[in-house]
Structure 1
Amino acid sequence: MTVLTTRALNRATLARQLLLDRADLSALDAVAHLCGLQAQEPQEPFIGLWSRLSAFVPAQLSDLLTGRHVVRTHLMRRTVHLVTAADALAWRGRHDAMLRQRVLGTYRRELEGVDLDALAAAGRAVMADGEPRSMPELARAVAGRWPEAGTRPLGEMLVAALIPMVQLPPRGLWRTKAGVRNVPLASWLGRDISAPTGDGTDPVGQSLVRRYLAAFGPAASADLRAWCGLAGLPRAVAAVREELVTFRDERGRELLDLPGAPRPDPDTPAPVRFLPAFDNAILGYQDRGRIIDDAHRGLSVAGARVVLVDGRVAATWTTTEDGTVTVAPLRRFTRDERTAVTGEGEAVAAFLSDGGSRRAKIDSAAG
């Protein structure tokens, strides 16, 4: 079986994640291809798309949100994701059990004795008037029946698990600060969520396997599970295995992939890219060694914005009130790397400031 080196996997990831060459795609098609973008920080998806698309402007994504073509909702790993409306409707039912278990894993003691079906029914009754509500508002409306549970556990169980919700605009619009107001997903989109087949098959799981590999492959089954958090995927993998090709990584793990998916030459040059916080190009794997060193793995869950140099995480970056982008290297840069990082930093500064700044600097004290 062919062994793919870490560098080969890196270049494949960059190609699938639209980070090797900026893609000539619409924002909607990019969100669909990427299986959504992690979005608990509302402005970060704009950076993620700017780094991936050749002609992206922020209004494109804002218009998709207000036009109900994409939504912000709890999905993979119980985190807020920006996904297409079609994917939200197709995937949400498959995530129900995982979302419940993850909230219970956090609040098992507080929610002990709470009938979750009764809690869901109470929450739906409150939301039946069509009014958007914050999580605390919804929790307070039902807390009288379960006073011992506390509003935070009740609210998280309702909003993140029991009732498929969307976070309404203006939350998530470009350069807009707004609190979270929730409405049921089905009412916002005017369409019902896809229900499980009930026949023992898992067509949604099979689709997720194919979609994940198209955006993240080649990858191991453990990577797939780490990306979405779902149980029961080995059966879905087995159902589509004959469609797939297999490799090994340098650790000996079996990697799955789609036969025609891009696997560039490992020596393909990789441009500097500025990634947003919690980008799935890093978080979408159990083994993240293809893109970030183990010594820096904590950055991927700490909310640091990172810079890819030669395809790997080599720096973090921040912005200041005057629009300056400051890069803190994690290793020493060559002269050419410093030039490339500064140039891309100036471009991202201009993007974030609507053209008002083109200042970027590398922190000489870092690295």
Structure 2
Amino acid sequence: MTPHEIARWRFAAQHLAAPHAASATEVVAHLLAVQAENPGQSAWAVATRTEQPDAADLAGLLTSGAVIRTHVLRPTWHLVAAADLTWLLELTAPRVRPTLLRQLTDGGWTTADLDRAVAAVMDALAERADRTRDEVGAALAERGVATTGHELMLLLGLTELDRLVCSGRPTAEGTHTYAAYADRVPAGRRPDREEALGELTRRYVTGHGPATERDLAYWATLPLGDVRRGLAAARDDLACFEHDGRTFWHAAGATPPTDDQEPAGHLLQLLDETYRGFQDSRMLIDAAGIVPAGREAAIGMAVVDAQLVGRMKRTVGRRARFDVVPHRPLDRPEVRALEAAAARYAAFLGLEPDLRIS
């Protein structure tokens, strides 16, 4: 296996190359969790993996509560199927929670302060659910709990990790809201820790692989010991190969693509799972080593044939403008692939595309 072949395999595993998933439901379940710090970026991250990208698909799931946007895996938002959320939080939240709590206690918060604030949040959401962050902050102030914007963010993150609060129904404008966890998430199954480690490992590898154990440790904020226990528990469903001194895991029976992938071109945000879903082997997306060392790919990526060929910035106005700064000269087929990607992305936004390659 070459680095480029592994990267192409990942694009196929993630439904970025045909065959795509049938719906947003299938994408979220297949990937298990989709980073969703930016709602607009995550909406395209899901839609671009479906047969017919439609903003209403994911939006309907968020409104119904079939998919929840909440803090899980790492100290940031992810989209997770409601049916998977409880066991995933039970498994990973204990590793993430201290990071948020430390920032509050370093800022002078005591246990009593936190208990009082959490009680006020739950009281406010019991009075009226589906409140925006600003509305929750105002409700806390009315109850005598003053918070800065950063403190409120940390406080709500902790209540999410503690399975007290999660996303509510978005506003008509698509703004994130909060509701009580018990009102939005069904009781669901609660496998024991060994079973949960095995399921997390199997689903991550199936949806993201080939990947290394350190990729999974980063993605799930788990120690390597737990990752190795997960690999042992899921061993019958997985296979592996060696490359460049590392072991890469993939779904048993899965094989690398041999034909040209369609679509060849992609315009993706930096938070996309094909980039943020890895750390140890992330830069297989740059097999030729053309990306400037030590730099993130700006806020977006121009990708052709599963390789990062340039930086991308999206600007939404009367048209959907995509400014691409290539890392190397692009040939005509590569430009056509990015033109097709711009057309797909713009159509999803309901706009005409404006691709500019400098």
Identify whether the pair has TM-score above 0.5, normalized to the shorter chain.
yes
How far does residue 107 in structure 1 lie from its aligned partner after superposition?
Answer: 3.9
CA gap of 1:224–1:137, structure 2 versus 1, over 3 A, is farther
- TM-superposition CA deviations, 1:146-165 (whole Å, max 9, x none): 999x9447624533433442
- How far apart, CA to CA, are the structure 2 residues paired with 1:309 and 1:147? 46
CA gap of 1:113–1:24, structure 2 versus 1, over 3 A, is closer
- How far apart, CA to CA, are the structure 1 residues paired with 2:20 and 2:153? 42
How far does residue 108 in structure 1 lie from its aligned partner after superposition?
Answer: 4.6
2:272 equivalent in structure 1? 279
**One-letter amino acid of the counterpart of residue 18, structure 2:** D
- TM-superposition CA deviations, 1:243-297 (whole Å, max 9, x none): 43221122x01222221224223x7446101223410111111121111456366
Contact 2:206 2:251 in 1 (8 A): yes
**One-letter amino acid of the counterpart of residue 259, structure 1:** A
Contact 2:70 2:77 in 1 (8 A): yes
- How far apart, CA to CA, are the structure 2 residues paired with 1:245 and 1:20? 22
1:256 equivalent in structure 2? 249
CA gap of 1:210–1:116, structure 2 versus 1, over 3 A, is farther
Q: Which runs of 5+ in 2 are unaligned?
A: none
Contact 2:97 2:158 in 1 (8 A): no
- How far apart, CA to CA, are the structure 1 residues paired with 2:89 and 2:220? 12
2:227 equivalent in structure 1? 233
1:5 equivalent in structure 2? 2
**Stretch moving more, 130-139 or 97-106:** 130-139
Contact 1:38 1:80 in 2 (8 A): yes
- How far apart, CA to CA, are the structure 1 residues paired with 2:231 and 2:108? 34
1:84 to 81, 84, 105: 81
2:308 equivalent in structure 1? 313
- Residue 242 of structure 2 aligns to a residue whose secondary structure is strand
- Residue 44 of structure 1 aligns to a residue whose secondary structure is helix
- How far apart, CA to CA, are the structure 1 residues paired with 2:39 and 2:159? 17
How far does residue 74 in structure 1 lie from its aligned partner after superposition?
Answer: 0.9
**One-letter amino acid of the counterpart of residue 360, structure 1:** D
**One-letter amino acid of the counterpart of residue 165, structure 1:** V
Question: TM-score, normalised on structure 2?
Answer: 0.83
- How far apart, CA to CA, are the structure 1 residues paired with 2:142 and 2:236? 51
Question: TM-score, normalised on structure 1?
Answer: 0.81
**One-letter amino acid of the counterpart of residue 276, structure 1:** Q
1:181 aligns with 2:182: no
**One-letter amino acid of the counterpart of residue 335, structure 2:** R
- TM-superposition CA deviations, 1:214-263 (whole Å, max 9, x none): 1111211100011121343332223233543221122x012222212242
CA gap of 1:254–1:59, structure 2 versus 1, over 3 A, is same
CA gap of 1:48–1:128, structure 2 versus 1, over 3 A, is closer
Contact 1:107 1:153 in 2 (8 A): no
CA gap of 1:81–1:187, structure 2 versus 1, over 3 A, is same
CA gap of 1:230–1:130, structure 2 versus 1, over 3 A, is farther
1:159 equivalent in structure 2? 159
CA gap of 1:332–1:261, structure 2 versus 1, over 3 A, is same
2:241 equivalent in structure 1? 247
How far does residue 305 in structure 1 lie from its aligned partner after superposition?
Answer: 2.3
- How far apart, CA to CA, are the structure 2 residues paired with 1:116 and 1:289? 43
CA gap of 1:333–1:12, structure 2 versus 1, over 3 A, is same
2:16 to 16, 19, 22: 19
How far does residue 125 in structure 1 lie from its aligned partner after superposition?
Answer: 5.1
2:35 to 21, 35, 38: 38
How far does residue 38 in structure 1 lie from its aligned partner after superposition?
Answer: 1.6
- TM-superposition CA deviations, 1:161-213 (whole Å, max 9, x none): 33442222325x7xx342x4311222123x2365563xxx4211110000001
- Residue 228 of structure 2 aligns to a residue whose secondary structure is helix
Contact 1:35 1:83 in 2 (8 A): yes
1:361 to 350, 355, 358: 355
1:223 equivalent in structure 2? 215
1:169 equivalent in structure 2? 169
- Residue 126 of structure 2 aligns to a residue whose secondary structure is coil
**One-letter amino acid of the counterpart of residue 300, structure 2:** R
Cα RMSD (Å): 3.1
- How far apart, CA to CA, are the structure 2 residues paired with 1:94 and 1:119? 26
Alignment map for 1:270-349 (pairs within 5 Å):
271-286=264-279, 287-292=281-286, 293=289, 295=292, 298-299=295-296, 304-315=299-310, 316-328=312-324, 329-349=326-346
Amino-acid identity (%): 25
How far does residue 29 in structure 1 lie from its aligned partner after superposition?
Answer: 1.1
2:59 equivalent in structure 1? 62
- How far apart, CA to CA, are the structure 2 residues paired with 1:102 and 1:299? 23
Contact 1:16 1:262 in 2 (8 A): no
2:93 equivalent in structure 1? 96
Contact 1:41 1:277 in 2 (8 A): no
- How far apart, CA to CA, are the structure 1 residues paired with 2:36 and 2:261? 29
CA gap of 1:136–1:117, structure 2 versus 1, over 3 A, is closer
Contact 2:23 2:51 in 1 (8 A): no
